[in-house]
Structure 1
Amino acid sequence: MGFTTIAVMLFDEVPLFEASVPIAVFGERRSGLPDFDVRAVAAEGGPVRTDAGIALSAPYDLDAVDEADLVIVPTWRHPLGRPPAPEALRALRRAHDRGATVVGLCLGTFVLAAAGLLDDRPAATHWRYAPLLASTYPRIQVKPDVLYVDEGDLLTSAGSAGGIDLCLHLIRRTYGSRLANDIARSMVVPPHRAGGQAQYIDHPVPVPTTGDPLGETLEWAMRHLDRELTVDALSAHAMMSRRTFDRRFRQVTGTTPAQWLLHQRILHAQRLLETTTEPVEVVARNAGFASAVALRPHFRRQVGVSPTAYRETFGEGGHRLGSARTRDAEDVAMNTAAR
């Protein structure tokens, strides 16, 4: 479902950068973007002191949480410090119970955990504190290596830049890749990193330059996604053995060549569905899939809806995501009944 009113819950002694992430993503007025109403909430009352000693005057109290479609806890003081105020935890539970989407970025995951919202669910947090989250809240299925986890109504992310990735993912899943890409371009950050990508990689993803075989291969693959690319073909293009290529690729990107390639194909299919009227069968082939039948399960797994439903939402004259998800579910039910 869409969201327009966003409550950002700020707690005392939090890191300044992480606290600013959702405000930077959703708060700036941009042409073509929904007019988000971002409300900075002093979750424990009074001025919010950051860990740098800077005092922030948040204009809203916890009543704003009760009115928000999207509630974000962008960070948290050290997990071994004093616990969140009980009234803040109650506000989070009320928000979730009435259907709001609730997000914990970085150490904000600990606040969602303290509210009991993550029991028996997978969740992410900063890799350094993942063991502490797992030992403190044993019912949570902690994912220590991923950038973020999307559970629909509850989302959690790794630290710092991982919070930006999750906020952009929220824009992408609700309003489409075009708007997400516009915001990313404005912020000068990568437009999309898959949630399953590793939090920490040995080297930054290379900017393709002459003499950089891996960077040149990534660029070449992006320009030829309509071809039947294999990992062997990629390693041959990079003039590396398969074993060396696999090891170097994971070091640089944090994922495997096959996973990266599939992710890029789905992103390309999304762009084509948004910007062209080509049949899904043609979109599938242009994105490197043998057919629409081959595209659909991967697209649904990564995006959450079928290609047709996605186009109805984000293509020219598209409807809201809620309508697309409903239509998608109806299509599945009809197909199942027909069989």
Structure 2
Amino acid sequence: MLTNVAVLAFDGVAPFELGILCEAFGIDRTADGVPALDFAVCAENNLPMRTSMGFNLQTDFGLDRVAEADLIGIPAIPRGGVPSDAVIEAIRAAYDRGARIMSACSGAFALGAAGLLDGRECTTHWMYTDELQRRFPDAIVVPEVLYVDTGQIVTSAGSAAGLDAALHIWRQEYGAAVANVVARRAVVPPYRDGGQAQFIARAVPDCDADTLRPLLTWILENLEEDHGVEALAKRAVMSPRTFARRFRDETGTTPHHWVTRQRVSAAEELLERTDHPVEWIAGEVGFGNAATLRHHFVRVRGVSPQAYRRQFAC
């Protein structure tokens, strides 16, 4: 269980991505029912560091604090650069002892320098994916996603995608209800699928779409309805082909994929907050039966609905 988080700082660190990691894991939300985390920003020494925006920052926590953490956060680093050898060694040591490591934006280059991306799917900001692949040819760079979770290593795309990845970790560790509280405090959508496009024609996921926003809202309020392409296209007054194209433009994914993820998310909350049978929950969220719910739940979450309920039921 996640209890201890250390975020690395270094010369050239990007303050926005550093701030995202502090926002995600460093704020005391215990009054809202969120478990307390032991959190610290750490550096090689206690000397002032120059950020990428030209101001200095300083921390009293050294690399020995990294050795205690369950999760290590790595914010964006200067393009073309890597942290010091001491910081890279601290990252390697954390990985070797089993700590989880999450990078935000170009922080993935630090993981590459530590040799932790070889043979592993990963991502970074869309502007840097080609460079990441070129510098670390053994990495499997996935340029079109918001974040990639390979278990011990989580890499996220540019800027705000780091918050999506952090919420993903909260959800894994403590369930949807806790992740939703963290998201609500940050005033962001509680869940954006890591497989959604990070650079597409319109601003997107969840219900932030443009033309289709009313339809997406209706889907979320009526998950038990038929949400096949033809039925949704009819409701949107479009041909199925035009609708499917518009849907991908505005959400970065297919109608089936989007609806399935929303149904799984709704099932999560019902599994956490109620004691209704899985069969009943399957009907409520539109999967029809327990077997179909289980199939999709395992594919998305990696565990069965029953196992999820045992871990996260309120």
* TM-score (norm: length of structure 1): 0.88
CA distance in 2, matches of 1:15, 1:213: 34
Distance in 2 separating the partners of 1:288 and 1:96: 40
Note if 1:163 corresponds to 2:166. Answer: no
In the TM superposition, what is the alpha-carbon distance from 1:84 to its structure 2 partner? 2.1
CA change 1:207–1:98 in 2 (3 A) is closer
1:79-138 deviation line (CA, Å, top 9, x unaligned): x23x32111111111111111111111111110110011110100100100000011101
Name the SS for the 2:303 alignment partner: coil
Deviations 1:3-32 (A, max 9, x none): 111110012112211111111111111121
Aligned partner of 2:234 in structure 1 is 236
CA distance in 1, matches of 2:207, 2:171: 26
Please list the CA deviations of residues 32-91 of structure 1 after superposition, one character each: whole Å capped at 9, or x if unmatched: 11111111011465222111111111221111111111111021111x23x321111111
1:247 Cα deviation (Å)?
1.4
* Structure 2 match to 1:325: none
Q: Equivalent residue for 1:48? A: 49
Q: How does 1:280-299 map to 2 (within 5 A)?
A: 280-299=278-297
8 A contact 2:204–2:252 mirrored in 1: no
What CA RMSD, in Å, does the superposition of the two structures yield over aligned residues? 1.6
- Separation of aligned partners in 2, 1:175 and 1:12: 33
Aligned partner of 1:335 in structure 2 is: none
* SS state at 1:113 partner: helix
TM-score by length of 2: 0.95
TM-aligned CA deviation for residue 227 of structure 1:
2.1
Q: Which runs of 4+ in 1 moved over 4 A?
A: 206-209
Distance 1:186 1:198, change over 3 A: same
Deviations, residues 162-206 of structure 1 (Å, cap 9, x unaligned): 000000110011101111111111111111100000002322349
Matches for 1:1-339 after TM superposition, within 5 Å? 2-30=1-29, 31=31, 32-43=33-44, 46-78=47-79, 80-81=80-81, 83-205=82-204, 214-316=212-314
Tell me the matched-pair count: 311
Are the aligned partners of 2:279 and 2:289 in contact in 1 as well (CA < 8 Å)?
A: yes
CA distance in 2, matches of 1:51, 1:8: 17
8 A Cα contact 1:12 1:44, kept in partner: no
- Residue 256 (structure 1) shift: 1.1
1:297 counterpart SS class: helix
Q: Counterpart amino acid of 2:57?
A: L
Deviation string 1:261-303 (CA, Å, 9 cap, x unpaired) is 1111101111111111111111112111131111112111211
Q: Closer, same or farther in 2 for the Cα pair 1:46/1:305, shift >3 Å? A: same
Q: Cα–Cα, structure 1 residues 206 and 267, in superposed 2: closer, same or farther, change >3 Å?
A: closer
Question: For structure 1, which runs of at least 5 residues remain unmatched after alignment?
Answer: 317-339
* Aligned AA (1:143): V
Is the CA contact 1:213–1:239 (under 8 Å) kept in the aligned structure 2?
no
Q: What one-letter code is carried by the residue in structure 2 that aligns with 1:136? A: R
Distance in 2, Cα, partners of 1:127 & 1:148:
11
SS state at 1:156 partner: strand
SS of match in other structure, 1:62: coil
Amino acid at match of 1:272: L
Kindly provide the amino acid, as one letter, of the partner of residue 58 in structure 2: S
SS of residue paired to 2:212: helix
Distance 1:75 1:206, change over 3 A: closer
Shift of 1:313: 1.1
| Greater mean alpha carbon deviation, residues 291-300 or residues 174-183 | 291-300
Q: Deviations over 1:119-159 (max 9, x none)?
A: 10100100100000011101100000000001111110001
Shift of 1:207: 9.4
* Partner of residue 333, structure 1: none
* Amino acid across the alignment from 2:26: G
The answer as to whether partners of 2:72 and 2:102 remain within 8 angstroms in 1 is yes
Listed as ranges, the gaps of 5+ residues in structure 2 are none
Aligned partner of 2:143: which letter? Answer: P
Structure 1: how far apart are the matches of 2:154 and 2:309? 24
Q: What is the CA–CA distance in structure 1 between the aligned matches of 2:46 and 2:93, rounded to whole Å?
A: 18
